[in-house]
Amino acid sequence: MLDSRLRGNDEGGCLMSFMPVVLWSDALVFLLLAAGIAAAWYVRRREHLLLPWQRVAHNSVAMASLLVLSLFLAVGLLDTLHFRMALPQANGGEKVYSSEVLSVFDKLVGPLRTHTEKTYSEPFALTLYAKESMTDAQGNVARDYPRLQYGGAHLSDASQRVEDIWKRALAGGGLGLLVGLLSFYLTHRKLHCASGCDRAVSIATLILTTLIGAIANLAAVYHVLGTDKVGQDVLYLSLKSIRTGLIIGTVTTLVTLPLALFLGVAAGYFRGWVDDVIQYVYTVLSSIPSVLLIAAAVLMMQVTIDTHPQWFDTAASRADLRLVFLCLILGMTSWTGLCRLLRGETLKLREMEYIQAAQSFGVSSLRILTRHIMPNVMHIILIALVMDFSALVLAEAVLSYVGVGVDPSMISFGTMINAARLEMGREPMVWWALAAAFGFMLVLVLAANLFADAVRDAFDPRLNRTESKA
Amino acid sequence: MNLLKVDKLVTRLRNGAAIVDGISFEISAGETFALLGESGCGKSMTALSLMRLLPDGVANAGGAVQLDGAALFDLPEHDMREVRGGKMAMIFQEPGLSLNPVMSVGAQIAEVLALHHDLGDAVANARCVELLDQVGIPDAARRVHEYPFQLSGGMKQRVMIAMALAGSPTLLIADEPTTALDVTIQAQVLRLLRDTQDKLGMAMLLITHDLGVVAENAHRVGVMYAGQIVEQATREQLFAKPLHPYTQKLFAALPDARRSGQPLSAIPGSVPPLGSIPQGCRFAPRCDKAWSLCREQTPDWTMVEGRGVRCHLYQDTGYRIRDTDARSPLPLAGEGLGERGDFLNPVSRIPNPLLQVSDLQVHFPIRKGLLQHVVGQVKAVDGVSLAIPQGRTLALVGESGCGKTTLAKALLRLLPATAGSVQFDGKELIGTGAARSSMQMVFQDPYASLNPKMRVAEILEEGMSALRIGADSAARQAQIDGLLDKVGLARDSKWRYPHEFSGGQRQRIAIARALAVSPQLLICDEPTSALDVSVQAQILNLLKELQQELELSYLFITHNLAVVEYLAHEVCVMYLGRIV
Amino acid sequence: MIAYLIRRILYAVPILIGVNLLTFALFFVVNTPDDMARMQLGIKRVTPEAIEKWKQQRGYDKPLFVNSAVGGTDKLTDTIFWQKSASMFVFDFGYSDDGRSIGREIAKRMGPSLAIALPTFLIGLIVYVSFALLMTLFRATALDMAGVALCVLLMSISGLFYIIGGQFVVSKLWHLVPISGYAGGADSFKFVVLPILIGIAGGVGSSSRWYRTIFLEEIGKDYVRTARAKGLSELRVLFTHVLKNAMIPILTGVVVVIPLLFMGSLLTESFFGIPGLGSYTIDAINAQDFSVVRAMVFLGSVLYIVGLILTDVSYTVVDPRVRLQ
């Protein structure tokens, strides 16, 4: 099927054989990316803003984590470029597009997506997990573990398996290592990282490229992490989950950031009734236990989505809108904390003498807020942003388990765990999907936590007091 | 027999920079030795080294300390704990922060008694009361059960002293014991320390930056600069004739009434940052007597007439002071306010003042009870009247909390006035936003008064653009260059951020910011109290020059009488919201 | 003190009204009762009569705010808002979709919830604080570094993993305790011990690390230097001085959750089959029983506000500077 599509592409020549699709969450991701690049460009030219980032850059753990994170980010971004393939049959000159929304990432890892087995199979297995009745060439019916359609299909004999795995792992790993070394050789002269982190980051890079090489080589012919109930490759599912996790982790904070920033700073600066109203709003919101508020909101959203099926042209856009709403709802429950922090900091800042100096010039309140207060609370926002990220990734899994998370059709760590959990009782246990989901989540969250720590250390003025005075 | 003997003490940061670099001194029983120096010279670190209480990241890197014959650096930690609080006690600069806020003062003193004297609860309690009584706390039996937040700053420092005395120490280290206190309280606490020392015969290591404190309390003095003792002498010797150029400059930089007509001799530049200690004499870059040798070779410790100095001026050739009478020696004890002709009641006499404040009140409501109704008023400023003529300086003196700063903010209309009138150049200001450009303020803390996220040029331009001064940005930039020249900063500094400047330089920027809108009156709220003596002189000189050049009037808020005498034409004393 | 408490309770009223309005808007304004009925009944059985019947059974057939069909005070009281939301102020939660009294159900389920939540909270607090104190005592050594690294690792693991892993190892491999279920009385021990342990393990990472930060911040303060200058040993400095002061920020985060313990833990209870309020909520969410979810939201916010007041009161205990008025 994949081949025929590719051929269609070739024959079509200049004709568009696919239609780019921008889902809501994609748009938000692009927006975020643009904002991130703009911010980086802005910071680059300002030495005092660059300074804390240089401190982060000197931290080898942070840089190694960043490397892992950017790898996840790359997968997530590739998975964000969505499109719909044109179907081969044209409908009266007009192109008909498949209702299936694919991403560039799906294309890149083609076989992983399309090589689905019948049901469960263990990692690196050659056979299915359950016995089936099979009819052999002689017409005898026997119950045995059937061979997988794709996993290890190139092997004629099961006894070659271990040797083949090692060979492929070594070959792939070696190639990965080579690519890693080569990239070092090419970039080393241009990039000179701080002396301390240089080595740690190099080692981390080499380990990662080796690992990726080995896995890529193996994944082509095996199900490295096994398959799930409907025979989908677990590695593919895990990689697809990354985008969901990343979106929950970043979009959530960012959609509500303007709200928290504006309200928090306004409450702290203006005091009086403005403060009273804003405080009232966030006390009301934060007094409802967040899981319950999320549950209630998600339940209601579900009703709305279910009663308006006409809004969505594909299943993906439906699941996607649910994801965006989930982000909004999560954001609604979490902005209060940041708002309170910002209000407190603004209360402190408004007593600073430079604010009073500005006031004595008659500088307008809006200008004081944007020129004096906001730049001086940015570190709090940044710290909150990176600290919240991992908590949100973890929360997604829990919420999906509770049934108020992402759409069940959307691939995420939560839905993976939820599906795998039901099979806990099986003998022998189906452990790989669970392990894969937890493992990927651990790596992502751990890297995020380590990076967040470094960012906090670098930006928190209380921790850098001595340095700033010297 | 010396009680304490410090020999070539070295203390280093983890990165290798020496904060204390080879300090040696001795103290005998009953004697007060003062370590005098500006902030960052390493005097506090010396004290903490002796206690072996250096903060994380700073470590002892050499030298020896003997207390009563015991080598402190060789003691195991367990034995050292006996010495701390026992033989050697310490009081700190900030009494407000140095006491545990959630323990009663009695419990905190009793802790020492239990530790070093093995006293039981009942005996300890009685002894606590006795100690509090001894340090002059009234109603000690009741105060014993109070918490630090219920005591005033001076009382807290007395509690600290009582706590230090509880272990009956033979050596008391006092680290800036009065810096955080009001002037009147300072004198009381210092007298208490002197009396206690006389009574108990203990030795005292007094760490201070205040020459006045040294003059009244020390027997011998060590002057520290950039981690080294540059001069050591008895108090009389030092005050009669300071030898080291740094010490001489330090004396010369002190403002006082007799020199109000002439500029102070400020020390150019500022204290070198740690770790960047230049080769040669550490003071050479700021010394006007330095010659090539000073920059190449570190001077050795030289004994001159029974006192020591670290300066090439006195080496080999012996006693060779180039200009001995840089200034007449300072009197030993501080003088009171000089009786001067123009120290008259400022309100009545002036016919046509620039600023006329009459009966200004600023009250803050106190809310209480179920519905938070207003039950009373804090009368922060309670009917103040004053007047400042063109080109004159009115000093506003008073203890902290007397309403000085509130008054200043009310004048600038940062706070609403409850009643009264403020007339500027004949126009009523209360209730209007008018005349913002004609009155500006210079704040106390040079670190808090500049937005760290803005360049100097942006800081200076802000007021101009808010008040629409200057035709366009090019005109403003030209004006900014002029301002920087005026306050003695390089023009290219306008592209830098505040954190790149020292305290004194920041204060110059703050002055330039105020001048940017060409005010006629500057309100200076303790502009030099956060600065070192040598830098303070630079700023005072600058203010004086600007006044002569631009015909500025100043409302100068301060608690430093010496500064008042040097700068002020008229003086107001404020007490509890009123002018007295 | 009393005046303060009364004022705080009075302040709580507008907040609860806000919560009530918010949930009301969420449940009845975002979607009409018709939508909910359609959703509940499923696609197949949707007929106008079925919807009407569903609404009538649950009392959703009334107008939202003003009932113009009736007179007098009924105009306001015979509405969805009055009957479903306002009644919650007197803790009248009405009936769940399966016809049981929610109030009675809540009262019955509080016990099992507390049996898990309270020990988890208390033992957990002790464990976390001790671990944090230990790290503080050995600060800036390899031990401390290892502790912090462990904390970061532990807090990076999903809470679901602790539950699933714990159940698998302890119950399934070792057969030490039953996988799930609950019984009253003395039998309850073997049912609650694993959830409690897992609950504690799940919080070690983040809590200990947070407390460590608090301790380290306190230890940098001047009064600690004074205490050391008295000759106190590091242990005594830590326990008598630092711990007392650190209690203030710790209490801020801790006391507020005490009343919420009644609500139980959603995850633990549903995994272990504990018949508490947490699993009640989860079941209600899965069954889309809006009355129960609404009741739990309201109860949760009441308890949260109680927690806030308790926090303020607890300050007066540990901090002599705080006097409530």
Residue B568's pLDDT band, with cuts at 50, 70 and 90, is confident
Cross-chain Cβ contact B53/C319 below 8 Å:
no
Stretch B152-173: mean pLDDT: 90
B262 within some domain: no
What is the C-alpha radius of gyration for chain B, rounded to an integer number of angstroms?
Answer: 26
Q: What is the DSSP letter of B300?
A: P
How many CB atoms are located within 10 Å of the residue B427 CB? 11
Task: Say which amino acid occupies C19.
Answer: V
Domain boundary among B240, B265, B299: B240
Q: Are residues B235 and B354 in the same domain?
A: no
| Nearest neighbour of B517 by CB, restricted to A359, A361, A371 | A361
Q: What is the DSSP letter of C101?
A: B
Stretch A254-281: mean pLDDT: 89
B524 within some domain: yes
Stretch C197-218: mean pLDDT: 91
Nearest to B160 by CA among B106, B82, B102, B95: B95
pLDDT number for residue B203: 92
Residue A419's pLDDT band, with cuts at 50, 70 and 90, is confident
pLDDT number for residue B333: 39
Name every chain B residue with its beta carbon within 8 A of the beta carbon of A357. 441, 443, 449, 463, 510, 513-514
Q: Are residues B226 and B375 in the same domain?
A: no
Taking the CA of residue C285 and the nearest CA in chain B, the distance in Å comes to: 41
pLDDT number for residue B347: 44
Domain boundary among B206, B240, B274: B240
Name every chain A residue with its beta carbon within 8 A of the beta carbon of B443. 353, 356-357
pLDDT number for residue B256: 67
Question: A118-132, B386-400, B504-518: which range is least confident on average?
Answer: A118-132
Q: Which of C136, C216, C223 to mutate to test the interface with B (most CBs of B within 10 A)?
A: C223
Q: What is the DSSP letter of A232?
A: -
Q: What is the DSSP letter of B556?
A: E
- B353 or B116: which carries more pLDDT confidence? B116
Predicted confidence (pLDDT) at residue C76 exceeds the cutoff of 80 = no
What is the total count of domains within chain B? 2
Q: Using a pLDDT cut of 70, give the percent of chain B over it.
A: 88
Q: What is the pLDDT of chain B when averaged over all its residues?
A: 82
What is the tens place of the pLDDT at every residue in C103-159?
Answer: 888 888 888 898 889 999 999 999 999 999 999 999 888 999 999 999 999 988 888
Give me the count of residues in chain C.
325
Could you tell me whether strands B220-225 and B228-234 are parallel, antiparallel, or unpaired per DSSP bridges? antiparallel
Stretch A41-57: mean pLDDT: 82
Name every chain C residue with its beta carbon within 8 A of the beta carbon of A417. 158, 160, 164
pLDDT number for residue B398: 81
Question: A34-43, A223-232, C76-85: which range is least confident on average?
Answer: C76-85
Cross-chain Cβ contact C301/A434 below 8 Å:
no
Q: Are residues B234 and B355 in the same domain?
A: no
Predicted confidence (pLDDT) at residue A125 exceeds the cutoff of 60 = yes
Give the alpha-carbon dihedral of A407, A410, A413, A417, to 10 degrees.
Answer: 70
- A114 or A278: which carries more pLDDT confidence? A278
Alpha-carbon distance values, B469 to A461, B30, B511 (Å): 35, 63, 17
How far is it, in rounded angstroms, from Cα A47 to Cα A53?
A: 10
How far is it, in rounded angstroms, from Cα B533 to Cα B540?
A: 10
What is the tens place of the pLDDT at every residue in C169-185?
Answer: 888 788 878 877 787 77
pLDDT number for residue B119: 81
Name every chain B residue with its beta carbon within 8 A of the beta carbon of C315. none
Are the CB atoms for B113 and B126 separated by under 8 Å?
Answer: no
Cross-chain Cβ contact C229/B97 below 8 Å:
no
Q: Is the dihedral of CA A282, A383, A290, A318 positive or negative?
A: positive
How far is it, in rounded angstroms, from Cα B462 to Cα A370?
A: 13
pLDDT number for residue A460: 74
SS3 A332: helix
Predicted confidence (pLDDT) at residue A401 exceeds the cutoff of 90 = no
- C325 or A355: which carries more pLDDT confidence? A355
Predicted confidence (pLDDT) at residue C233 exceeds the cutoff of 80 = yes
Taking the CA of residue B11 and the nearest CA in chain A, the distance in Å comes to: 17
Q: Which of C29, C30, C158 to mutate to test the interface with A (most CBs of A within 10 A)?
A: C158
Taking the CA of residue A373 and the nearest CA in chain B, the distance in Å comes to: 9
Are the CB atoms for A305 and A379 separated by under 8 Å?
Answer: no
pLDDT number for residue B172: 93
| Nearest neighbour of B101 by CB, restricted to C228, C232, C245 | C245
Q: What is the pLDDT of chain C when averaged over all its residues?
A: 84
pLDDT number for residue C130: 93
| Nearest neighbour of A293 by CB, restricted to C35, C39, C297 | C297
Q: A361 and chain B: CB distance < 8 Å anywhere?
A: yes
Name every chain C residue with its beta carbon within 8 A of the beta carbon of A398. 158-160, 267
Residues of C at the B interface, defined by Cβ within 8 angstroms: 3, 6-7, 140, 221-223, 225-233, 240-241, 244-245, 248, 318-321, 325
In terms of average pLDDT, the best of B96-110, B286-300, B391-405 is: B96-110
Cross-chain Cβ contact A287/C19 below 8 Å:
yes
Cross-chain Cβ contact B101/C6 below 8 Å:
no
Predicted confidence (pLDDT) at residue B414 exceeds the cutoff of 50 = yes
pLDDT number for residue B320: 46
pLDDT number for residue A10: 40
How far is it, in rounded angstroms, from Cα B475 to Cα B137?
A: 62
B514 within some domain: yes
What is the tens place of the pLDDT at every residue in B504-532?
Answer: 888 889 989 988 888 888 888 888 877 87
Kindly report the CATH number assigned to the domain that includes residue B144: 3.40.50.300
Q: What is the DSSP letter of B241?
A: -
B172 within some domain: yes
Helix (H) or strand (E) segment spanning residue B183: helix B183-200
3-state helix, strand, coil in chain A (%, to 5): 70, 5, 25
How many CB atoms are located within 10 Å of the residue A320 CB? 23
Question: A288-297, B218-227, B333-342, C290-299: which range is least confident on average?
Answer: B333-342
Q: Are residues B373 and B235 in the same domain?
A: no
B278 within some domain: no
Q: C32 and chain A: CB distance < 8 Å anywhere?
A: no
- B332 or A29: which carries more pLDDT confidence? A29
Chains in touch with C (3+ beta-carbon pairs under 8 Å) read: A, B
B534 within some domain: yes
Stretch B138-164: mean pLDDT: 90
pLDDT number for residue B184: 79
Nearest to C229 by CA among A204, B5, A253, B166: B166
B289 within some domain: no
Q: B124 and chain A: CB distance < 8 Å anywhere?
A: no
First to last CA, chain A: 67
What is the tens place of the pLDDT at every residue in B303-333?
Answer: 877 788 888 877 655 444 444 444 444 444 3
pLDDT number for residue A216: 83
ipTM of the shown complex: 0.82
Predicted confidence (pLDDT) at residue B396 exceeds the cutoff of 50 = yes
DSSP characters for C253-289?
A: HHGGGTGGGGG--HHHHHHHT--SHHHHHHHHHHHT-
Predicted confidence (pLDDT) at residue B545 exceeds the cutoff of 80 = yes
What is the tens place of the pLDDT at every residue in B331-354?
Answer: 443 333 334 434 444 444 556 678
Q: Are residues B379 and B523 in the same domain?
A: yes
Q: Are residues B428 and B572 in the same domain?
A: yes
What is the C-alpha radius of gyration for chain C, rounded to an integer number of angstroms?
Answer: 25
B351: cis peptide before it, omega within 30°?
no
Question: How wide is the angle at C-alpha C47 spanned by C-alphas C46 and C53, nearest 5°?
Answer: 95
What is the tens place of the pLDDT at every residue in C298-307?
Answer: 888 899 989 9
First to last CA, chain B: 52
Q: Are residues B233 and B355 in the same domain?
A: no
Cross-chain Cβ contact A358/B462 below 8 Å:
yes
Q: Where are the beta strands (DSSP E) in A316-451?
A: none
What is the tens place of the pLDDT at every residue in B548-563?
Answer: 888 888 988 888 777 8
B315 within some domain: no
Cross-chain Cβ contact C15/A292 below 8 Å:
no
Question: A175-189, A377-391, B61-75, C238-252: which range is least confident on average?
Answer: A175-189
How far is it, in rounded angstroms, from Cα C248 to Cα C241?
A: 12
- A64 or B269: which carries more pLDDT confidence? A64
Name every chain C residue with its beta carbon within 8 A of the beta carbon of B104. 320
- Residue-number span of the structural domain to which B52 is assigned: 2-240
Q: Residue B353, Cα to own-chain centre: how many angstroms? A: 33
How far is it, in rounded angstroms, from Cα B61 to Cα C290?
A: 70
- Taking a contact as any Cβ pair under 8 Å apart, which residues of chain B between 157 and 176 contact chain C? 160, 163, 167
Predicted confidence (pLDDT) at residue B226 exceeds the cutoff of 90 = no
Domain boundary among B240, B256, B271: B240
Q: Using a pLDDT cut of 70, give the percent of chain C over it.
A: 95
Predicted confidence (pLDDT) at residue B38 exceeds the cutoff of 60 = yes
Can you read off the two tokens belonging to residue A102?
A: 């694919």
- A430 or B406: which carries more pLDDT confidence? B406
pLDDT number for residue B296: 78
Cross-chain Cβ contact A354/B445 below 8 Å:
no
Q: B449 and chain A: CB distance < 8 Å anywhere?
A: yes
Q: Are residues B351 and B227 in the same domain?
A: no
Predicted confidence (pLDDT) at residue A83 exceeds the cutoff of 60 = yes
| Nearest neighbour of C222 by CB, restricted to B98, B167, B368 | B98
Q: B90 and chain C: CB distance < 8 Å anywhere?
A: yes
Alpha-carbon distance values, B497 to A95, A344, B256, B493, C3 (Å): 60, 26, 34, 8, 50
Max CA-CA distance within chain C? 84
Q: Are residues B233 and B354 in the same domain?
A: no
Q: Are residues B426 and B547 in the same domain?
A: yes
Predicted confidence (pLDDT) at residue C94 exceeds the cutoff of 70 = yes
Q: Are residues B41 and B189 in the same domain?
A: yes
Helix (H) or strand (E) segment spanning residue A99: strand A97-103
How far is it, in rounded angstroms, from Cα B165 to Cα B85?
A: 8
Are the CB atoms for A405 and A415 separated by under 8 Å?
Answer: yes
Q: Using a pLDDT cut of 90, give the percent of chain B over it.
A: 12
| Nearest neighbour of C226 by CB, restricted to B86, B98, B371 | B98
Nearest to C281 by CA among A413, A306, A289: A289
Residue A169's pLDDT band, with cuts at 50, 70 and 90, is confident
